[in-house]
Structure 1
């Protein structure tokens, strides 16, 4: 039976949109949301019976080494460490794929989804959850790209692929017996740079995922 004496632990594994990067209207603008970012919103809505652990890294991909930004951005390389650092974890939320749309990585929408599937499979086969069981997985498809301003060359060809990610992620989640949430159903990428979430998008996502987490936790606690 689940241990009700501790909070239901949720680890959010993502990229700059989990880290909380503020949309940049020009190169080098920078900035990070704090209380506004979706992980903080989710934690606030869930309350003290839940613990939301943030594991967002700028530039993180699903499963590929970025030749420019470095191998440490490869999500497969660091998922195990991220989760094991906080064991036991009841639920892992995976929201990655935007950086895989970069032209230099030459990934199709199906490739990106399959990369996210590798992460789901790692969690599903692990003993990182309570009593040595595997945590549950919630796969979130990223929002489609918005208006690409100064990032247009870096993400050339990515817009159309980004619009197919939800369908492909749904396919992978079903194959991996993971939960699925379509991020683009509640949020949109900012037109300041086309890839990052503004404060309103963080709020919408945070509230939606709080409801998803509560539902998943309810099912887990009944089991």
Structure 2
């Protein structure tokens, strides 16, 4: 049975849209990685950490939010894997990071380079990384201040991330093609969206395999 690792942030972890911060809502049971793996019939390894960024230690949530170290830990503590999804970039858009699209895209490229490196490919016997562009956040609800100004930069960031993947011949799935974030907090998405995203990513992966 093939194995897939899902590396991401709260939207991979299964955090529900929040009315207050912090939220007391439980993690979704049928989050998109679970739905995806069920549709594929594959073994699932989940590595979703709320607050994780591509490359920024968070002054509020801690230095371990920097996904660069977490990526090495995930790839060296699991395996072998046959595929890996990377869905990050939402937290990098927080206003207090003041990151440019180039900053975020370069950090995305670093993650792809690690996944494609000879060391990691050999460790797992070869595997396919897949970049997932997360649903675009917007400033809303209890996270409005955190994401001030995000609407003006998110499109450029996602275009730059896509370019990094395409330059490395890495498959890209755009979550915006099937779901949107909840207007409740502008960042997370509801149970129905998790179901839809999980099924869509499974279909995408199967189509990539057939190609």
- 1:156 alignment partner in structure 2: 148
Distance of 1:73 and 1:147 partners within structure 2 = 21
Once the two structures are superposed, the pairs formed by residues 198-209 of structure 1 within 5 Å of their partners are 198-209=190-201
TM-score under structure 1 length normalisation? 0.87
Q: Structure 1: 5+ residue runs without aligned partners?
A: 1-6
CA root-mean-square deviation: 1.8
1:70 aligns with 2:68: no
Residue pairs, 1:91-102, within 5 angstroms: 91-102=83-94
Distance 1:88 1:129, change over 3 A: farther
Greater mean deviation of Cα atoms: 18-27 or 132-141: 132-141
Measure the CA separation in 1 of the matches of 2:174 and 2:71: 22
CA shift for structure 1 position 135: 2.2
In structure 2, runs of 5+ residues without a counterpart are: none
Q: Does 1:40 align with 2:51?
A: no
TM-score, normalising length from structure 2? 0.92
CA contact (8 A) 2:79 2:124 kept: no
How big is the shift at 1:130? Answer: 6.5
Paired residues, number = 211
Q: Work out which of the residue numbers 144, 156, 164 in structure 1 matches 2:136.
A: 144
Q: Does the 8 Å contact 1:89/1:129 carry over to 2? A: no
Task: State the alpha-carbon separation in 2 of the partners of residues 151 and 131 from structure 1.
Answer: 39
**1:19 corresponds to:** 13
